[in-house]
Amino acid sequence: MKSKHVVIVGAGIVGAASAIWLRRAGFEVTLIDKGEPGMGASYGNGCILASCSVVPVTGPGLIRKGPGYLADPNFPLFMRWSYLPRLVPWLVRYMSHANAGDTQRISKGLTTIVGDSLEQHQALTAGTDAAKWVKESSYSFAYKDRHAFKDDAFAWGLRRDAGFVPELVEGGAVQELEPILNRNIGLLAVMKNHGFILNPGLYVQDLVKLLENLGGRFVRAEVKDFELSAGHVSAVDTTEGRFECDKAVVSSGVWSKPLMQKLGLTVPLEAERGYHIVYENPSQTPNNPMMLASGKFVATAMNQGLRCAGVVEFGGLEPTPSKAPLALLRRKVKDVFPNMTASREEEWLGFRPAPSDSLPLIGEVGNSGVFAAFGHHHIGLTGGPKTGRLVADMIAGNHSNNDMRPFEPKRFAKGG
């Protein structure tokens, strides 16, 4: 029997997609967020629907290379050292997956969530005003030369196993395809059938409007607790009152961790401090989104300008941005786009939810009637619609052909 009312906590891309698919399935839906829809991690990203993003950060060799990365002022990985003692337990679990076997296992799980990203976004928005934000494109990885490309052979093997094989463009043809690039970039690995979002924040806000047009409800409030009857959710308590429900979905990113603790589940989840810079009114832009391998950042021409994103810092939820990550990002952008100028720059700092095993939590927490849908690390925008569809199917009792075991929330109760 289908439940009548579902409360969804968190109005980012995952929560909005879950709400729309549940409403389309006939459920009463209330979407709750303490802030404006789409203004958290769903706002600050590379805008790319990166279906080939099936390679976790914790690849083989990270344990050996990690200290060097942190010590290198030109590598886009930073640490607020005062936070390190709090980070250590999570970091130990995170690094335990930095081996070939775990990386391959994680990659297969990620493929389930992101492998058909463009089609999932198109299905979510077909025939609606939100469809205008979804654009088809190629997605290129830019390298200095073929040797640098071959250095990434393990990652490209994982992408190949997931069905993603690039077209290689070399020499002068690189700048013919992408004139914005420095001549030092000598190879592009071009992935077809990808896409990007023109403005992720406005996209999610339009999705919430779509939900309301479908008869769903958005409430601005902070969720405080769950009410359980015989171990099953019966209501969600918020700063705007109590909302009775039959089921609930938690999709509030890094802020999902304390809500899980109220259900007795401690999730090894850390905030990855992510940065981006938007170059407004740029003199040049890439013709398609790209990943600049030398700088480990992505660049996408979106409706606010040229967005460059990709610097990572660990240091908790302190809202003050650090100077060094943004300074490095600017240097890397200047290096690969030497002739690009802009009228203004907008900086952003946000918090990406990083589980210790790099896989999101998707599914019911025990038999509580509360469903997890968070922990997407770098793939939230890409995998949000697929996650929302999977959660809606679970709540509706529809069988999925996807293997959902890698995303089982209770895996952490077993020390995973």
d(C-alpha 55, C-alpha 60), whole Å: 11
pLDDT, mean of residues 278-307: 97
Task: Decide if pLDDT at 254 tops 90.
Answer: yes
Length reported for the chain: 416
Q: Model confidence at 270, in pLDDT bands (50, 70, 90)?
A: very high
Task: Decide if pLDDT at 1 tops 50.
Answer: no
d(C-alpha 105, C-alpha 115), whole Å: 15
Question: Which DSSP helix (H) or strand (E) runs through 328?
Answer: helix 323-336
Q: Model confidence at 415, in pLDDT bands (50, 70, 90)?
A: low
Count of C-beta atoms within a 10 Å radius of residue 147: 10
d(C-alpha 306, C-alpha 295), whole Å: 16
- Domains in the chain, start-ordered, CATH in brackets? 53-82+135-194+269-355 (3.30.9.10)
pLDDT, mean of residues 260-275: 95
- The pLDDT value recorded for residue 400 is 85
**Between 71 and 340, where is the model more confident?**
340
248 phi/psi in degrees, rounded to 5? -140, 155
- The pLDDT value recorded for residue 328 is 96
Show Cβ contacts of residue 138 under 8 Å, excluding neighbours closer than 6 positions. 190, 191, 192, 194, 288, 289
d(C-alpha 325, C-alpha 280), whole Å: 20
Q: Give, in order, the Cα–Cα distances in Å from 336 to each of 93, 143, 191, 301.
A: 35, 10, 20, 15
Residues 127, 189 contacting (CB under 8 angstroms): no
**Between 50 and 70, where is the model more confident?**
50
CB environment 60-86: b (16+ within 10 A), e (fewer): eebeeebeeeeeeeebbbbbeeebeee
**Between 372 and 294, where is the model more confident?**
372
Give per-residue pLDDT as tens, 81-96: 999 999 999 999 999 9
- The pLDDT value recorded for residue 3 is 53
Give per-residue pLDDT as tens, 166-219: 999 999 999 999 999 999 999 999 999 999 999 999 999 999 999 999 999 999
pTM for the whole structure = 0.96
pLDDT, mean of residues 160-165: 97
Q: How far apart are the first and last CA of the chain?
A: 33
d(C-alpha 80, C-alpha 97), whole Å: 23
Task: Decide if pLDDT at 11 tops 50.
Answer: yes
Give per-residue pLDDT as tens, 312-347: 899 999 999 999 999 999 999 999 999 999 999 999
Q: Model confidence at 414, in pLDDT bands (50, 70, 90)?
A: low
- The mean of the pLDDT values for the chain is 95
In the numeric block, the tokens 């395809």 are attached to 177
The tokens of 316 are what?
Answer: 């908790």
Show Cβ contacts of residue 154 under 8 Å, excluding neighbours closer than 6 positions. 59, 60, 100, 103
